[in-house]
A and B are shown apart, each in its own frame.
Chain A
């Protein structure tokens, strides 16, 4: 990010706030940073400074695009702006993406109005128009913003990669640009964080199993690890990826069904359907699909098409069943382990 504005001919120079110019090219470091946050490393502190930025050589008539200060959001926007001259007004969303921040109100009317005055935007541009990402509408009241700041809000496309087409067509978004999707790729990139978060908790469980092993008749081994990890992967990766292909509507149901099939298969491979170990198999068949169900249910928060009312309804049905079957299943597994 550059220093003095005086070196650029189009800046509203000296005495005014310095406006940094941003590149539309991502570096290796940006790509690596994106990869890290997708795996949940330093995800909560991946931010850029809020404020006004220049892309290319914008003039006082250039468009102003508004976005969030999550660096992943900022990067995916600026890499779509190559060859354009425009302003970026970055709100302080505490490093959260536009949609989630709008839901929390940090990408909101107050922040936008304050940021407009803090950056002196009305001295930088002569027009009074802002282009916001459509998903920001959850937190922004366009008519409020107009009333309080004098700036008219236009909602641009949902996805940054449609922004060029939007600007080129005179700020018109097609139906497709206005629609949120949830493609296989969209779901796939979300799964590492889901898996890492769940797996961390499961390490604690394995810690307990290790202690139990000290006085168990049938110590837990690799086969137990595989069947348990299978349930975690089913809930956090397989179910999200196969989401629309698994029959049923509720996430918990989809996770349970996938978890059941996986557990049946792994128990079979481990040869647990014998007269001596059927209790173990039954225990796992009760506990593990329910754990997959729970993890899949948590994916509602990452999905783009669930409602609060829907998730609440689903949870009220699923959670009691999950708790009971996990409890009974765990008891059966522990009995088998301790008594042999």
Chain B
């Protein structure tokens, strides 16, 4: 069964003009959000994006932008409380 989370929330964006068609985004995406068509990447399943950022940092053409961060409530709460970037700080003994 494929899990589905909230719709129309993710910050993923692809600039097709910059895409050089290497296909790396389609390789690294753990939720198969990208597909290659006519030697260009295409976003085919945006709502399954988890904003992990793997596609963006492996895109040598810098064609992908996404506000990469952890989808982890306790990390986000920690971020709110400390006023810092939410990090999945597993070493504190909680989370993931």
Q: Which A residues contact B (CB, under 8 angstroms)? A: 43-44, 94, 96-97, 100, 102-104, 134-135, 137-143, 155, 158, 173, 175, 178-180, 182, 197, 243-244, 249-251, 297-298, 300-315
| Band of interface residues on B | 35 or more
Partner of B9, one of A243, A298, A307: A307
Known contacts being A138-B52, A180-B30, A303-B71, is A311 close to B57, with CB within 8 Å?
A: no
Per the bound structure, the CA–CA distance linking A275 and B12 in Å amounts to 55
Per the bound structure, the CA–CA distance linking A97 and B96 in Å amounts to 9
Asked if residues A308 and B90 are in contact (CB atoms below 8 Å), the reply is no
Partner of B57, one of A141, A182, A302, A305: A141
Partner of B73, one of A104, A307, A311: A311
Residue from B24, B53, B89, B90 with most neighbouring chain A CB atoms (10 Å): B90
Given contacts A303-B71, A309-B51, 12 further A-B pairs with CB under 8 A are A44-B91, A102-B54, A103-B88, A178-B32, A249-B5, A300-B71, A300-B72, A301-B96, A305-B5, A310-B10, A313-B6, A315-B77
List chain A residues, Cβ under 8 A from B70.
103, 301, 308
List chain A residues, Cβ under 8 A from B4.
249, 305
Asked if residues B67 and A298 are in contact (CB atoms below 8 Å), the reply is no
Per the bound structure, the CA–CA distance linking A308 and B28 in Å amounts to 19
Known contacts being A178-B27, A243-B3, is A137 close to B73, with CB within 8 Å?
A: no
Asked if residues B32 and A307 are in contact (CB atoms below 8 Å), the reply is no
> From residue A321, how far is it (CB to closest CB) to chain B in Å?
14
A-B contact pairs, 12 of them (CB 8 A): A100-B88, A103-B52, A178-B30, A197-B93, A243-B3, A244-B3, A251-B73, A305-B3, A307-B9, A308-B51, A308-B86, A313-B6
With both beta carbons as reference points, the residue of chain A lying nearest to B94 in the complex is identified as A197
Partner of A44, one of B30, B52, B93: B93
With both beta carbons as reference points, the residue of chain B lying nearest to A297 in the complex is identified as B73
Known contacts being A143-B60, A306-B5, is A301 close to B71, with CB within 8 Å?
A: yes
List chain A residues, Cβ under 8 A from B40.
none
Per the bound structure, the CA–CA distance linking A266 and B41 in Å amounts to 53
> From residue A250, how far is it (CB to closest CB) to chain B in Å?
6
Partner of B88, one of A104, A141, A297, A307: A104
Partner of B96, one of A134, A140, A302, A310: A302
Asked if residues A138 and B53 are in contact (CB atoms below 8 Å), the reply is yes
Q: Which 7 A-B pairs have the closest CB atoms?
A: A301-B72, A306-B71, A308-B69, A137-B28, A137-B54, A180-B30, A310-B6
> From residue B76, how far is it (CB to closest CB) to chain A in Å?
6
Whether a CB of chain A sits under 8 angstroms from the CB of B64 is: no
